[in-house]
């Protein structure tokens, strides 16, 4: 069984006060958008009979997870009765659960089917290219004031 999810966390505007990089003793305020620290999404898969946790993963640094908004979790390769719990806070989540069709219990090693597009290793990705900051430096005597 595979579980994939896409989440849209709440964004907040963050204001950080920092010392000026120009060498002066002035302070400047930097404003940027970030995921709200209280936005999280949690997926737990348990064996329904024993309560044993087979998988626990999700979104949100405050909960110990990553910040990937789109992920396919590691596969669950058991044929027991399963309980899937999904919880979240200040987030919109879309999940998909895929189970191999007929023959998945009799022959779990048979992987000759094409229905799951993420068969293999778990996949995590950022939904956008992240910009790498380019450091700039202006000599003190050329600072425009």
Q: For 5-59, how does the pLDDT look when each residue is reduced to its tens digit (9 = 90+)? A: 999 999 988 888 888 777 777 888 888 888 898 999 999 999 999 999 999 999 9
- Cβ neighbour number for residue 67 with a 10 Å cutoff: 14
Determine, yes or no, domain membership for 97.
yes
**Predicted model pTM:** 0.62
Determine, yes or no, domain membership for 25.
no
Residue with tokens 């003190």: 140
Determine, yes or no, domain membership for 102.
yes
Please tell me the predicted confidence (pLDDT) of residue 90: 92
How many structural domains compose the chain? 1
Determine, yes or no, domain membership for 93.
yes
CB-facing half-sphere around the CA of 127: CA atoms within 13 A: 10
Mean pLDDT of the chain: 77
Q: Which residues contact 93 (CB under 8 A, 6 or more apart)?
A: 5, 6, 7, 8, 41, 86
Pairing of strands 70-72, 123-125: antiparallel
Q: Which two structure tokens, joined as six digits, stand for 85? A: 């719990």
Please provide residue 97's backbone torsions phi and psi, each rounded to the nearest 5 degrees: -120, 125
Where in the sequence is the domain holding 110, given as residue range(s)?
Answer: 2-8+39-119
């Amino acid at each position: 069984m595979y579980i994939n999810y896409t989440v849209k966390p709440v964004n907040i505007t963050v204001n950080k006060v920092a010392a000026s990089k120009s060498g002066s003793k002035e302070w400047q305020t930097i404003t940027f958008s970030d995921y709200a620290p209280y936005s999280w999404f949690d997926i737990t898969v348990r064996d329904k009979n024993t309560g044993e946790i087979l998988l626990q993963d999700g979104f949100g640094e405050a909960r110990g997870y990553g910040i990937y908004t789109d992920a396919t979790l590691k596969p669950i390769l058991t044929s027991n009765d399963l309980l899937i719990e999904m919880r979240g806070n200040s987030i919109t989540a879309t999940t998909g659960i895929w189970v191999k069709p007929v023959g998945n219990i009799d022959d779990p090693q048979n992987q000759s089917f094409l229905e799951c597009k993420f068969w293999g290793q778990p996949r995590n990705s950022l939904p956008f290219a992240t910009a790498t900051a380019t450091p700039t430096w202006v000599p003190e005597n050329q600072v425009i004031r």
